[in-house]
Structures are given as structure tokens and as C-alpha cells.
Amino acid sequence: MNVLITGGTGYIGTELVRLLANDNSVDKVIIYDNLSRQNFNLFLGNKLSGHAKVKLIKGELLDSRGLKKALDGIDVVYHLAARVTTPFAHSDAHLYEQINHWGTAELVYAVESSAVKKFIYASSAGVYGSSDYALDESVQPNPKTFYAISKLRGEEHVVRLSDKMDTYIFRCGNVYGYSPSMRFDAVINKFVFEANFEKRITIHGNGDQARTFVHIDLISKALANVLKVSLSNGTYNLVERTLSVMDIVDELKQLIPDLEFILINQQMKVNQLIIKENNPVNQLLGIDNKRTLHEELQEFLSRLSF
């Protein structure tokens, strides 16, 4: 089985590449990435287990010819590449449209004329907008940011493939946890960095706003397991736990007793987004977290260099 991963050097991509490189059922892992985030951690350190079957193609999603060439002989496509700039998801609409919408469209066009048998798209729970109660997949999306709008438009292109091949759209929660290819703009990761190095966390609003999260280890494991399980074509939420901002701060204060936090614009109502776990899908794909948030944050902090 030959696999191509767009955005394979990113936060989720790095972990997924490691898992697939170690999978005996996978013959080749092709990383298709433009390296725009200047994140080279996947290429450094100890050699990957199964490194001989991993290859990098430096390319753009809007390069139709390059995509078609890269898809030659590919059986499975993971589409992870995206423009993501949390918390600035309201800025630069053109870039979101170009990469997340039209880049996905170009990839889908290329896949339609290929021999690909399975397509997995990492979308975002952000397409639902905001909510004060747990939303499941039956709820009509109502994106509030340029980022979320572009991801939903990407979904609309991907759905076209479902008549031709196994097609899965996963609306992922807010990803957190240690990886060599870190993103420190995501809320928990940002808090861990600030708590460890500055001993102070800045919170917008009163801290009661909640988000639904999924740990990097679990989401990469779930995506890898899509190759091994029988799952009907469709759109699925891929989330693990819902936490308020103050839930996270309380756990960090237990680990760092002298931690301070500052509330900015406490009177401002900050949108929250609560997603319902899809337990049958989580169980099938191996999202079975046996660690507490406290244990996860403790492990995360232990990975920081000082």
C-alpha cells in the first residue's frame, strides 16, 4: 500500500508519518509539502523506523501537474495540508481560500483521475461555528471565521469523491500535546509554554468558555487506524474531551504552584464550541485515552528543555 500525505511535516503529519513508516502493511509514505511553516523537525534526530520507504516531494497544492505526478501509484491520500493561523482565523481571507478551499479542490480534481482508493480529509470542528451545548454530525455547519469557511468549502469538494472511493471527512477538535513539530498557537500548547517559561497565563474573557479537544497521540493513531478498520464513507467528529479555559489553568496550577493568570476583558463573552464525542467511531479508531489531563500536562512539561 502506497500512501501520500499532504502537509506531512506539520503537527499532525509528523506523528502520522512516524506511525505509517512503522506499519508493515504500508510500502511507501510520500510526504507532499511546501515546507511553508519552516518546520524541519521531522527530518532531524534519530532515523525513522521504516525510513527507507519515506520520501519527500516539495510541492504546492495549486500545482495541478505536480499533484498528478505525485499521485502516480498512490493508493491512499491523507489531506492534512492547510493554512492555519490560530488565533488569527479572521484575517487574510484570500490565503485561506487559496490553500484550504482551492488547494483542496485541485487535489480532489487530481485524485479523481488517479487510481487512489481511499481519501482522508482532516477538516475542523470549527465548521460548526459556536455552541453552548454538544453538537453532533447532524447539526448544520455554521462557520464563523475565514479559516472555518475555507475548511467547509474544502469538505464540499471532498464529498464528490465518495461515489468513486472510500472517503472520510474528520472534523477534528482542538489538537494539543507534545510533538517535535509543535504548534504553540493552539490554546493548551500556548498555556503550557507560558506557564513553564513565563509563570503567567493571559486569558481573554472570564475563562468559563469551553472547547472540545483531542490529544495529538490519539488523533494521529486514529488517522493511521483508518487503513485497518471497516468504516462507512462519511463525515465524523474526531474529538476526545471538553474543557473550559479555567479547567486547564487549574490543572497547570497544580503542576506549577506559583503560576499566575491574568483575565483581560472579563466582561466580554467569548464564543465557545462544544462537540459531542462519536463514541462508536472513537472506539473503532482507537481513541481510548487512559490518561488524565493532569498526566498529559505533566508529560508535556517534562518534554520542555528547561
**Mean of the pLDDT values across residues 92-98?**
82
97 and 150 in contact (C-beta within 8 Å)? yes
Is the residue at 62 inside a domain? Answer: yes
pLDDT of 87 > 60? The answer is no
Rg (CA), the chain: 19
Q: What is the dihedral of CA 274, 87, 57, 44, to 10 degrees?
A: -100
pLDDT band at 45 (very low <50, low <70, confident <90, very high): confident
**Mean of the pLDDT values across residues 233-244?**
96
Question: How confident is the model at residue 288, as a pLDDT?
Answer: 87
- Distance, in Å, from the CA atom of 167 to the CA atom of 149, rounded to the nearest integer, reads 20
- Distance, in Å, from the CA atom of 155 to the CA atom of 306, rounded to the nearest integer, reads 41
The DSSP code sequence of the chain is -EEEEETTTSHHHHHHHHHHHT-TT--EEEEEE--TT---GGGSSSPPTTGGGEEEEE--TT-HHHHHHHTTT--EEEE------TT-TTS-HHHHIIIIIIIHHHHHHHHHTS---EEEEEEEGGGG---SS-B-TTSPP---SHHHHHHHHHHHHHGGGGGTSEEEEEEE-EEES--SS--SSSHHHHHHHHHHHTSEEEEESSS--EEEEEEHHHHHHHHHHTTTS---SEEEEE--EEEEHHHHHHHHHHHSTT-EEEEESTTSPPP-B-B---HHHHHHHT----S-HHHHHHHHHHTS--
Domain count, the chain: 1
Is the residue at 202 inside a domain? Answer: no
Is the residue at 257 inside a domain? Answer: no
Average pLDDT, the chain: 93
Is the residue at 158 inside a domain? Answer: yes
pLDDT band at 42 (very low <50, low <70, confident <90, very high): confident
Domain region containing 23: 2-173+214-239
pLDDT of 90 > 70? The answer is no
Is the residue at 156 inside a domain? Answer: yes
Is the residue at 100 inside a domain? Answer: yes
**Mean of the pLDDT values across residues 70-88?**
87
Which tens digits make up the pLDDT trace of 106-137? 999 999 999 999 999 999 999 999 999 999 99
- Distance, in Å, from the CA atom of 287 to the CA atom of 240, rounded to the nearest integer, reads 7
Is the residue at 9 inside a domain? Answer: yes
CATH number reported for the structural domain that contains residue 148 in this entry? 3.40.50.720
Is the residue at 195 inside a domain? Answer: no
